[in-house]
Homo-oligomer: A and B are copies of this chain.
């Protein structure tokens, strides 16, 4: 089914799709929320009505993926079932129920000369979404972009090509039926790297890559437009001397084992040398009971002789599995150095009883999300109160952390007067 075509044709096709998305974005930008919400409701209904067709397309994708020998984790991400489709529809309905970010006033001030100055949220325009595997991203990213008044051009992975095409068709039909421009959501029929390059060099306003390191690097290298990356999460928990051992254990177990395959899962435990003999054994016991493999530094292994020795590659590594690196560090300073060197700027947690240590962690650690006495797993749009999200941004600009609808807007200044001129 994958279309192959010369690069020139592909560039032209991508550029045409982006041009049509640009025109659609102008329409979307000025729509009242009711019109956008009605379209989202139509998409949710379409998902339920068209479920059999989507599932059939997905079965074909799965079959091809199995023949191609895809890993089972990948197959799991790719697979749809009636429950997953219902969950997508529910996510779309929840996005519709959220506040419309467009037109929200960020700041308002009246100047001494009487000018009323406001900064208001406006849509970004055309967003390029580049992702892999999960077909639900096709629907949820489209819904979030639409809610924020943006058009979106999506390039999914080849393994989900048939599923994405079926989803794109029902989204397009829902837009048509709601009187919104069908071009507002466009799933590119090309899934190779040339399509990615053409897309991020087209007239779009923002590129959002979400996926493996190679994909993100490729986008960053070739983009001529702003890029917000959704990169890996190498999340740490530092357990401070004097910490409540029950709390530390709970945070380590929840961070590592509640869902090891996600980006906010814990990958490395740091423990203060001054208190490691007390803290490490009970924490390790609970982790081992949960089926976790521990890879420790030498000082860790002096306390936990059964831990496997950690190699240099284990620091800064995203295991995405029931494996945890463990390192004994010299106090808060040692933990800060480790995190600064090996962290991925995603989520970094401390477990401490000392207010000044918590304050230093909050201030010094440079990550999208800094956590004090809670699980790293809370770094998530739903948990932080945003609702659905497009992913967790690990870039520094234009947004960090969970990208909900507000993250898909920019701003403009509005100046209103009664004929004022500048002196």
Where the two chains meet, the residues of A that have a C-beta atom closer than 8 Å to any C-beta of B are 26, 29-30, 103, 109, 111, 115, 117, 122, 124-125, 205-206, 220-221, 224, 226-227, 244, 246-247, 250-251, 253-254, 258, 340, 358, 362-364, 366-375, 377-379, 383-385, 395-398, 400-401, 410-422
Contacts and interface: CB of A to CB of B under 8 A. Distances in A.
B29 A419 contact: no
Contacts of A417: 371-374, 378
Nearest to A250: B421
A374 B413 CA distance: 13
A358 B412 CA distance: 15
Contact of A205 (B29, B397, B401, B412): B397
Contact of A412 (B340, B367, B384): B367
B398 A412 contact: no
A253 B340 CA distance: 55
Contacts of A206: 396-397
A258 B422 contact: yes
B369 A413 contact: yes
A415 B367 contact: no
Contact of A383 (B111, B246, B368, B372): B111
The 3 A-B residue pairs whose C-beta atoms are closest, nearest first, are A374-B417, A398-B398, A254-B421
Contacts of A375: 420-422
Contact of A384 (B221, B370, B413): B413
Contacts of A364: 29-30
Nearest to A380: B422
Nearest to A420: B374
Contact of A378 (B395, B410, B415): B415
A412 B385 contact: no
Given A224-B220, A413-B369, A415-B369, A109 B377 contact: no
Contact of A397 (B124, B418, B419): B124
Contacts of A253: 421
With a 10 A CB-CB cut-off, give which of A125, A374, A383, A395 has the most chain B CB atoms.
Answer: A374
A122 B362 CA distance: 11
B415 A366 contact: no
Contact of A366 (B122, B371, B396): B122
Contacts of A125: 366, 396
Interface core residue of A371, A418, A421 (most chain B CB under 10 Å) = A421
13 contacts: A26-B340, A30-B363, A117-B385, A125-B366, A205-B396, A247-B419, A369-B414, A369-B415, A371-B414, A373-B420, A375-B421, A384-B413, A397-B397
A400 B226 CA distance: 14
Contacts of A422: 254, 258, 375, 377-378, 383
Nearest to A112: B385
A367 B412 CA distance: 7
A358 B398 contact: no
A385 B114 CA distance: 12
Contacts of A372: 414-417
